[in-house]
Chains A and B, each alone.
Chain A
Amino acid sequence: DIQMTQSPSSLSASVGDRVTITCQASHDISKYLNWYQQKPGKAPKLLIYDASNLETGVPSRFSGSGSGTDFTFTISSLEPEDIATYYCQQYDNLPISFTFGPGTKVDIK
C-alpha cells in the first residue's frame, strides 16, 4: 500500500505570508496527487488535481507542484479565509487505491 506523509502537521502564519506544505508518497505516484481544503464542519473542497492543475473557480494564490514521490502545495499570500486543514491525496488504478495524507492545519498568527 502507498503511504502518504505531510509536513508540517500544523502551522501558524500571518496574513500575506507565503505558506508551503509538503506531501511525500512511499512509492512513485507520477502526477496522481490532489490537494483538498477542509474547513471545520464542512466537506472537503478540491483545490488542485494531478499535482499542479488548479480546479475551476479556485483562487490563483493556490498552487501545486511535484511528481514522483515529492509534492508541494503553496498559498502565495495567506488570506483569513484560508484557515483550514489541507489534505493531499494520491490515487492509483493498479490496484485501485486512494490514500489521503494526515493533513496540515493552517492557522492565522
Chain B
Amino acid sequence: GAVVSQHPSRVICKSGTSVKIECRSLDFQATTMFWYRQFPKQSLMLMATSNEGSKATYEQGVEKDKFLINHASLTLSTLTVTSAHPEDSSFYICSAESEEDYEQYFGPGTRLTVT
C-alpha cells in the first residue's frame, strides 16, 4: 500500500512552453502533498506544500506565478511549470502525506529537460 505515482516520468519541452506534472496517491487519501526539486548531485529542496482545497504554501525564493500548484482532490496534485527556461531543468519529486499515519510517501520523480 501507500503508493504515489507521477506522470510523466520524463519530459522534454522547448523554452517558453508550459509543462504540467501530476502527482497521485493511488491507494490512500492525502490532504497534504509536497513538491521538491533536485538538481544533479544535490539534495532535495522543498518547493511548496500543496493543501487540498486551498492555496499552496511556497518556500522562500520559489516563484508562485512560475510554479503553479493545484490540489483539486484528496488524491491529485499538479505542478505546472510556466514559461519554462533551461534553468528549470531538474528532477521534480512529489510526496503525499497519508491521513492515516501522517507519513510522507514519495513518488518516482519527473525529469524535466527544457531545451
Decide if A and B are genuine partners.
no
The interface of chain B, by Cβ under 8 A from chain A, is none
Chain A interfacial positions (CB closer than 8 Å to B): none
